[in-house]
Structure 1
Amino acid sequence: MSGETGLRERKKQRMYRTISETAISLFLQRGFDEVSVADVAAAAEVSKPTLFRYFAAKEDLALHRFADQEDESARVVRDRTAVEPPLEALRRHFLDGLERHDPVTGLNDDAEVLAFHRLLYGTPSLVARLFAYIGRSEDALARALAEAAPAEAVPEGTAPGGSGAVGITARLAAGQIIAVQRILAQENWRRVETGATAWGAQPDAVAAADRAFTMLRSGLTPYA
């Protein structure tokens, strides 16, 4: 049964990717507002009801590229070694992304990646939907930080636990970390968008990331 379950899940994920990539291709060709859900369903060779079983909203067709990154920061915190502070693990992960020119860091000058970023940041409904993804990333990271910080390291009255809830300290920390990552990525994208190459912009991007995480470290002592 586990083999059958795994096969069904792989087929489901392939369908997600197929529909999403078909939609993104149409959005890039014609513009987000000029493409209907019916257009996407026809191009992906699925019915509209089938499409809506996979994607609740038109915006999600484009933002599916971020779906597996919603809990990426949380995974970094949970997968770190026991001796590595959460904030250092996140800094290291972001710097590794810059080294790989991961599109999530904004430091990527591939023409298709740049076109997707223009589509994303140039479409108000996509920007609005993106903030829902960011909110879920914050929630996931807050839970991971709450698990990671020793209770004695958190000021009294703001403990990460408390009746199963995530405390204000972890939530504030997660919000600041996710905001820093977002701002760094947007700044990197703006540099590349205005003509810099990814390699040429990398030294400044690394310096900015180091500066940002140094600023975080000075304020988020339970996680530093």
Structure 2
Amino acid sequence: MPGTPVFDAAAAVRVWTIVVAGGSGQRFGAPKQFASLFGDERVIDRSCDVARSCAGRVVVVLPSADQVENWRAARPDDVAVVGGSTRSESVRAGLAAVPADADIVCVHDAARPLATAALFEAVVAAVRAGADGAVPALPVTDTVKVVDPSGAVVSTPDRSTLVTVQTPQAFAASVLRAAHASGAEGTDDASLVEQAGGRVVVVTGESWNHKITDPADLDRARALLADRHETALS
């Protein structure tokens, strides 16, 4: 949860976070990043709060120019930009606003508001230790099948070698810029760094760090926060 910053000036490592919030929310039925989460807090507010606690500055990627103008007026310490038509284009729009002297860039989906400061710290620490990129991951517990276009099973991968990944993802800034320079598309930024030959490592993810995709996911996040609030008061 947002709290004491885990990075400070003494570390001499300049960390920026791009919070990707440029989606239209077609599957959700509305822009989910602006949905109410807990009290007066929206999904995007919590995602940005934890990012600010862990990085020198935050770039927020939003769907429209009007939303950018409103965000800048309300939160002048953030950098706000308009996103693109795809996730990768939105990340590139945010990356263009990150100063050239940044050492590490985190990319975080606004739709994962329950990521903690400790998770940001873990991925950044892995990059500081020498990795080109680091992603939070959880083991796959179900059996996974590879199927062809007709629906026939082609193979069954060994699930001990499989993980599901989350955000925030952290990268050496120069590596992330190089991976995006070709204009390639990917479902996450680590896949672009991998395609460019970068070394990406995993850190232990958080089971509660769900991505809000549909209204049921939002209800689950609200219930979890309400339970934590009640526990803190008891």
Return the TM-score normalized by structure 1.
0.27
Q: Which has the larger radius of gyration?
A: 1
Structure with the largest fraction of helix: 1
Structure with the largest fraction of strand: 2
